[in-house]
Structure 1
Amino acid sequence: MALDNINTSLPPLLTHPDFEIAPDEPPYNPDIHLSPTEPEFVVLLDGYRHVPKAPKLDKPVASNGESQIAYTGPFRLLSDEGYQVLRKILQRELVHQQSNDRWPAFIRNAGYRSKWLQDFNRCPRVLEHLSRMTGDVNLVPTAFQNSYSHINIGYPTERNVDSWHCDSVPYVVILLACDMSQTVGGELQLIEREPKEAFRLIEEYKGKVPKDIIRPIDYLGSNSCVFMQGSQLAHRVTNIQSCTEPRITVVNSYMSTNPFTIECTRYDTFRKEVTADLEYAMHKTWRANAQMLDLAIGGHPWPTRDQIIDRLTMAINELTCCREQVVIQQPPIPIILSSTKTPVNVSPPVPSPSTSTPIPVASSSIPTTTTTSVNIPLNSSTPPIIQRSNGPINLTRTTSTISTPLLTQTQHDQHIQSINSRLLSSSMTMKSSLKLIDDTLTWCENGQLNNYLQDSDGFVVIGAIGREKVGKSTLLSLLGGNQFIDEDRLMIFPAASSNSHKITHGIDIYITNEQTILLDTQPLLSSQLHQQQILQSSNDYPHTQQQQQTSLTPHFWQQQIDPRAMYVDNILELQTLEIIAFILSVCHVVLIVEDQFADPYLYRLLQLADILRPILKRNTNEIIKPHSPHIVFILNKCNNYISPQERLLIKRSLVQMMMDTQFRIYSSLKQTNKIKIQTNLKHIVIDLKQKELNENLLIKLLQQTKLVDNNNNNNDDDDDDETNKEIDLTNDNDEDLDDKQINYDYVNAIFIPRRDFRDSHSSHWQSRFLGFSNADSIVRQLRQQLLAIDRPHIEQCQTQRAWLTHASRIWDLITKSSQWADFSRLLT
């Protein structure tokens, strides 16, 4: 049978409510955006021979019609105009970067956000061009739309950009979307062996496969491609040692139109994606449908009954496999059994996308209902029929010969609430921060916030306090998932800049997918807020507006005094103390962000706010002991070289200022991988010579650095380069702290270098901070440590919703406290 008779229809194009198509893209035009070229050679799986072109297949359709192609030489698909459009899309998509155990940085679901990428992946000209390279095996894009133009991103790090693996889809085209002329590392490598033999070698050599076994793949430069049968080749991308811009590749995935090829798609690879269940179901349905269509219109003689049964069995096996895979990955849902017979509800047909062929459905009587019912037949091997609508979920059995006790109405409602809560929470992701306390320091009854809260424990609350323009909002945005290279408008918490008067007012909140609650506060003792207070207290400030402002902020201490009898500085200090006391009362971790140097006045306010924290009572006689949050000192925007002695002095001063508090300032961040310091002695020497420091200071600095490096027990023994050493300043040899002799290595102090991440020159991706790792690495490790930090117990906050109620109560106690009113009188 000719290959042209195989099912060539494309899998349907899907939409998802969590993703919106970007409106600012030009329409895809293959006449403008494509300029395909041919590779100079093709490598075959048979002996890995280099040939001009893959041989054509001349086999029956029902046999294995896979291509003999292993990989190709470099070639081009996009024109220069098309490449420029792709680069703009990638710049926009960088806000969606993720990380997991396999990829340090990657982006998925671009195929749901970009119409241009959808058309590029499904373009008939691209499919025809790639099909010719395979030896005329017709290709279509994979049904997993979340992997349309999957984006891999490589930064300078010790981790491989991609580890050894075989792809979960048959064919991939890898497009290099960056300039790697100045990049060291980031090489695409493969092993020219069968997958089983390749992974045996990887295991035998413990990942360090000899170079004579590895085949490196070269690109022609930016906008060049490599096409390969990734499911049949073990390959990886090595780590990047240095680069002038991140290594970015775009991976398009394809499969054969032959539904009888060996299935290599692995659902487990995609199961964490919100779209994976339906995409996998559509993939298996596409194969089953193509297998049946081949029997009907594939050019065969009229099939016998046995042939029809065999082909039906083949299609049923595809769908059964799909159902079993999806069911295994899902948590069990409680089923309410009823002995009452109910009519079988037939699921209404789902309208097909405009790009797919309509599927004829037999007409049937579909009763109108406002509930979702699952009719479970007596035969347990038959999957239940699920009908979804807008109402609550009701699960019933059509018939039952066993009398089972019915659940009470209360238990039934609890089941429904639990299921609906899981369905809602699984699809809700915050797009930006929301107001928790507004600019008048009034609690916001934000009903939208409840949509993102879950009735689950295991969450962590992180708040940040600090002066104006020290980087609180930027740091929290990075902890929430943003990247340094994101534009200001894409940041979770809008950041202030040197040429902007925009600052945070009140307290903003953001909830991440990792159940982390981030609180961004207005700057403490801000000069801009100070100026606003002066305008409000001036004679030119309208009296009616003062009354309106007072009514919007009904704090008890404001009602007990005349605002004109108190200095503006004192009013601002009281508002600052309220915010600090609130953050200390509701957060597991408090980040004190400073601009390189510790501010003693800030720590005086911290201790004073701790004294004024509201006292909670379980009853009239039992007082709830205030919890003690972790305090992490963030020394941000550091510049030049900070010697170990200078770091020690800074930590010692922090400890002295916090000596009389009960906060957790030690050992909070040593539970996971330690934040390490990269010291480049060569650059330090050059820097010191440029500053014309004397020779004695230079020798002393080198001796100090060498001494710390020799005491580090965690250095890589294989790194003998004396000009690039890795120093670990944490001392884990002492498990317990001695009260008489403090180990300052355990102080929760993080030094983050100054980084102008809007700069576009060649040093954009290199840290200018000679004493430490680059800012990207430090923030990434800090985020990992905060997610794994020990959570101090906050009374009555077992769930996120309970925490919000508790936080509202705390703020109410602060604003109505007579203790604050007494303290305000001392300032008049």
Structure 2
Amino acid sequence: MAEAALLELPAVPPQGYPPLEREPAFDPARHLQLERPDRITTLAELGYGANEIAACPSDFGITSCFRILSDEGAAALLEVCRALAPYATSSGRIPRKVRGAVFQSKFLRDLCLSREVTDFLGEVAGLKLLPHSIPHHLGHINLNPLEVGQNVDKWHVDTLRVDYVLFVTDPATIRGGEFQFFKGTKHEIAELHRDGKAPPPERVVTPRIPGPGYAVLQQGNMVVHRAAALKSAGERITMVNGYVPRDAEFPDYNRFDQIYHADPAHVAASEYARHVAWTGRERLQAFIDQGIYTEDRAALADRLEKVADYLARAGADIRNAGAGKLEHFGDG
């Protein structure tokens, strides 16, 4: 196992991300209240086979709702998210979102990079984690659409492996806007979508969210989920934070073809290239640190060629950015 070191945020933020003038300071002692989930739905329970599960870093699928923030922490995050709301943009999937906010808010940055939270979530997921090495996968904020009846987010799987969805506002204060997941595989829902069918209601799970500061943790590229529409006007805010397996040797999963549709061109390509360079470096550093002498030239060459192939494929992805379509499974 090649245990990677945390990739810090760039020292100089990209253009177009002005820092907040006033915000609370993140204090783990006051703002965190970490409580383990009661239940974990496994990938096998969602219907995935042994080969697909073996290709994932863990067999966990999605947790029941659990607490991350104290009441004071939830109130502080709500204050920050409201201050960031004027910077919202839209995409073909999400009507109102704020990405890259870790460059604007130190509170959000410190929360998303929190070692206490990261280690806790790793214990829940059953694997060692690091905060995501692509900054725009840290502290993604979803805001309610201005049009009642429009989904907050369509049915989809994520462009990264592990993330939590945290309710910033109190779900009890709105009608609708539920976080929901499909008790099935992404292959099943893709087939339903191709046939023009919505997910069967009996296979749509709506976790109970006790209040702000509570979250679900999921293997986001395997769990099909959405944020439903509000049924009347109200405020609905969630925050999503992404993670990567700490084992740098584990196959990378980041859908750059999809990221490129969500983020500014000068940001998406640069952050992905930096992430790939970091991953390649950590894999090579693990090779260096082993210090193994061997006559097996093929094994040595294979180790180097795997890194070179990874870098070459990523380079091709960057050159071909924008060629594909934004993927989702509709509103359902």
Assess same fold via TM > 0.5.
yes
After TM superposition, the structure 1 = structure 2 runs for residues 230-269 of structure 1, keeping only pairs within 5 Å, are 230-243=220-233, 245-269=234-258
Distance 2:224 2:286 in 1: 33
Partner of 2:39: 41
Aligned counterpart for 1:317 among listed residues 266, 286, 309: 309
Root-mean-square deviation (Å): 2.2
Q: State whether residues 98 and 105 of structure 1, in contact with CA within 8 Å, keep that contact through their aligned partners in structure 2.
A: yes
Residues 1:128 and 2:119 are matched in the alignment: yes
Aligned counterpart for 1:157 among listed residues 148, 156, 177: 148
Q: State whether residues 285 and 318 of structure 1, in contact with CA within 8 Å, keep that contact through their aligned partners in structure 2.
A: no
Distance 1:26 1:153 in 2: 21
Partner of 1:306: 298
Query: How many matched pairs?
Result: 310
1:273-316 CA deviation, whole Å, 9 max, x = no partner? 23111210111112212222232335x84354332321211111
Partner of 2:22: 24
Residues 1:203 and 2:203 are matched in the alignment: no
Distance 1:47 1:314 in 2: 33
The secondary structure found in structure 2 opposite 1:225 is strand
Instruction: Give, in angstroms, the shift of residue 10 of structure 1.
Output: 1.2
Partner of 1:275: 267
Q: State whether residues 143 and 283 of structure 1, in contact with CA within 8 Å, keep that contact through their aligned partners in structure 2.
A: yes
Q: State whether residues 7 and 293 of structure 1, in contact with CA within 8 Å, keep that contact through their aligned partners in structure 2.
A: no
From the superposition, tell whether residues 184 and 80 of structure 1 become closer, same or farther in structure 2 (CA, over 3 Å): closer
Partner of 1:290: 282
Distance 1:166 1:269 in 2: 11
1:514-555 CA deviation, whole Å, 9 max, x = no partner? xxxxxxxxxxxxxxxxxxxxxxxxxxxxxxxxxxxxxxxxxx
1:383-406 CA deviation, whole Å, 9 max, x = no partner? xxxxxxxxxxxxxxxxxxxxxxxx
From the superposition, tell whether residues 317 and 159 of structure 1 become closer, same or farther in structure 2 (CA, over 3 Å): same
Distance 2:59 2:5 in 1: 23
Q: State whether residues 24 and 107 of structure 2, in contact with CA within 8 Å, keep that contact through their aligned partners in structure 1.
A: yes
Q: State whether residues 6 and 130 of structure 2, in contact with CA within 8 Å, keep that contact through their aligned partners in structure 1.
A: yes
Instruction: Give, in angstroms, the shift of residue 27 of structure 1.
Output: 3.1
Distance 2:87 2:19 in 1: 14
Q: State whether residues 288 and 314 of structure 1, in contact with CA within 8 Å, keep that contact through their aligned partners in structure 2.
A: no
1:338-357 CA deviation, whole Å, 9 max, x = no partner? xxxxxxxxxxxxxxxxxxxx
Instruction: Give, in angstroms, the shift of residue 89 of structure 1.
Output: 0.8
Q: State whether residues 65 and 258 of structure 1, in contact with CA within 8 Å, keep that contact through their aligned partners in structure 2.
A: no
Instruction: Give, in angstroms, the shift of residue 109 of structure 1.
Output: 1.3
Distance 1:238 1:183 in 2: 12
Instruction: Give, in angstroms, the shift of residue 110 of structure 1.
Output: 0.4
Partner of 1:536: none
After TM superposition, the structure 1 = structure 2 runs for residues 65-464 of structure 1, keeping only pairs within 5 Å, are 66-135=57-126, 137-155=127-145, 156-204=147-195, 206-243=196-233, 245-271=234-260, 272-273=263-264, 274-298=266-290, 301-303=292-294, 304-329=296-321
**Quick one: which amino acid aligns to residue 256 of structure 1?**
P
Question: Which consecutive unaligned segments of at least 5 residues does structure 1 have?
Answer: 50-62, 332-828
Distance 1:101 1:240 in 2: 18
Q: State whether residues 104 and 161 of structure 1, in contact with CA within 8 Å, keep that contact through their aligned partners in structure 2.
A: yes
Question: Whose Rg is larger?
Answer: 1
Q: State whether residues 287 and 318 of structure 1, in contact with CA within 8 Å, keep that contact through their aligned partners in structure 2.
A: no
Partner of 1:12: 8
Q: State whether residues 165 and 238 of structure 2, in contact with CA within 8 Å, keep that contact through their aligned partners in structure 1.
A: yes
Q: State whether residues 67 and 134 of structure 1, in contact with CA within 8 Å, keep that contact through their aligned partners in structure 2.
A: yes
The secondary structure found in structure 1 opposite 2:44 is coil
Distance 1:208 1:175 in 2: 25
Q: State whether residues 159 and 259 of structure 2, in contact with CA within 8 Å, keep that contact through their aligned partners in structure 1.
A: no
Partner of 2:51: none
Instruction: Give, in angstroms, the shift of residue 317 of structure 1.
Output: 1.5
Distance 2:274 2:300 in 1: 22
Q: Normalising by the residue count of structure 2, what TM-score does the alignment of the two structures yield?
A: 0.86
From the superposition, tell whether residues 282 and 75 of structure 1 become closer, same or farther in structure 2 (CA, over 3 Å): same
Q: Which has the higher contact order (CA 8 A, sep 6+)?
A: 2
The secondary structure found in structure 2 opposite 1:12 is coil
Q: State whether residues 176 and 224 of structure 1, in contact with CA within 8 Å, keep that contact through their aligned partners in structure 2.
A: yes
Partner of 1:791: none
Partner of 1:701: none
1:423-474 CA deviation, whole Å, 9 max, x = no partner? xxxxxxxxxxxxxxxxxxxxxxxxxxxxxxxxxxxxxxxxxxxxxxxxxxxx
Q: State whether residues 154 and 246 of structure 1, in contact with CA within 8 Å, keep that contact through their aligned partners in structure 2.
A: yes
Distance 2:23 2:293 in 1: 50
Distance 2:222 2:288 in 1: 32
Distance 2:191 2:322 in 1: 32
Instruction: Give, in angstroms, the shift of residue 116 of structure 1.
Output: 1.6
Instruction: Give, in angstroms, the shift of residue 227 of structure 1.
Output: 0.6
Instruction: Give, in angstroms, the shift of residue 330 of structure 1.
Output: 7.9
Instruction: Give, in angstroms, the shift of residue 34 of structure 1.
Output: 1.3
After TM superposition, the structure 1 = structure 2 runs for residues 501-580 of structure 1, keeping only pairs within 5 Å, are none
Q: Normalising by the residue count of structure 1, what TM-score does the alignment of the two structures yield?
A: 0.36
Question: Which consecutive unaligned segments of at least 5 residues does structure 2 have?
Answer: 48-53, 324-332
Instruction: Give, in angstroms, the shift of residue 186 of structure 1.
Output: 1.3
Instruction: Give, in angstroms, the shift of residue 48 of structure 1.
Output: 4.3
**Quick one: which amino acid aligns to residue 35 of structure 1?**
Q
**Quick one: which amino acid aligns to residue 8 of structure 2?**
P
Instruction: Calculate percent identity across the aligned residue pairs.
Output: 25
**Quick one: which amino acid aligns to residue 3 of structure 2?**
N
